[in-house]
Amino acid sequence: MPDQKKQKLYEELALSVELGRPKDTERLLEAAVAEGETAKSLVQKGLIPGMRKVGADFQDEEADIPRLLCAARAMQKGIDVLQPYLEEGEDIHIGKAIIGTVEGDLHEVGKNLVVIMFRSVGFDVIDLGVDVSDRQFAKAVQDHPDAGILCVSSLLTTTMPAVRDVVRKIRSIDRAGRVRIMIGGGSVTEAFAKEVGADAYTENAVDAAELARAFVFGNEEEVMNRITGKTMMNKKKRSGDTE
């Protein structure tokens, strides 16, 4: 396929995800595969950019949760369409992440958004659900030795000790530091993350996915600085709105 035509295809594919149109996503992918495009290039250059655009809009309050969910459905349709075209042993994922809400906390909306955004940037996600004990987190880490990211969600202040327990448990079985532990949710802060020994704290699903991706590709310091700067700007903006 000529480069100009290929670029147009990637842009149309990204737009189909951005607008949440799974039928268009399916049609474009089937046509692209028929012309010899690889599943991996279609994911990395078409599906993921579209989903990341929606994630950025959501972060900037230019998109709402329903739009994010529509885009995620189009993204998932694309992944489903491409699965049969993968070569034996080929993986379209950039890594594997384990995600769950701590024991004693049944809130799942925030955790589900994190799952959506992680999948949207290319992660294979193991979703443990809610009310997950430190032992269950540890078992998941042991059962999935290829998982390099662990995300722990906590919305309630009463479950903050459970976050500490999870971090301590994972550190005790992961002496080599293979797993990056990220925490988030309404009850936790960056200071708390440092106190309990987590690798990172993010205040929303979009930042969490971008930072996890950075851990995989080794540019986490750059992304952390960008997120920190953006967080400070948002706090100033919110402070100004309430004055």
- Which of 47, 65, 85 is at the close of a domain? 85
The whole-number pLDDT of residue 61 equals 83
68 and 99 in a common domain: no
Q: How many domains does the chain have?
A: 2
Chosen domain end from 25, 60, 85: 85
Measured distance CA(163)–CA(216) in Å, rounded: 23
Last residue of a domain, one of 85, 114, 139: 85
Dist CA 31 CA 47 (whole Å): 15
Mean pLDDT, to the nearest integer, of 14-30?
A: 95
- In this structure, the answer to whether residues 202 and 110 fall within a common structural domain is yes
User: Which structural domain range is residue 19 located in?
Assistant: 3-85
* pLDDT tier for residue 88 given thresholds of 50, 70 and 90: low
List the structure tokens of 108: 């799942």
218 shares its domain with 138: yes
Type of residue numbered 237: K
The H or E element that residue 147 is part of is strand 147-153
pLDDT at position 98, please?
Answer: 98
Q: Compute the distance between CA of residue 192 and CA of residue 199 in angstroms, rounded to an integer.
A: 11
Closest Cα partner for 62 from 22, 71, 92, 201? 71
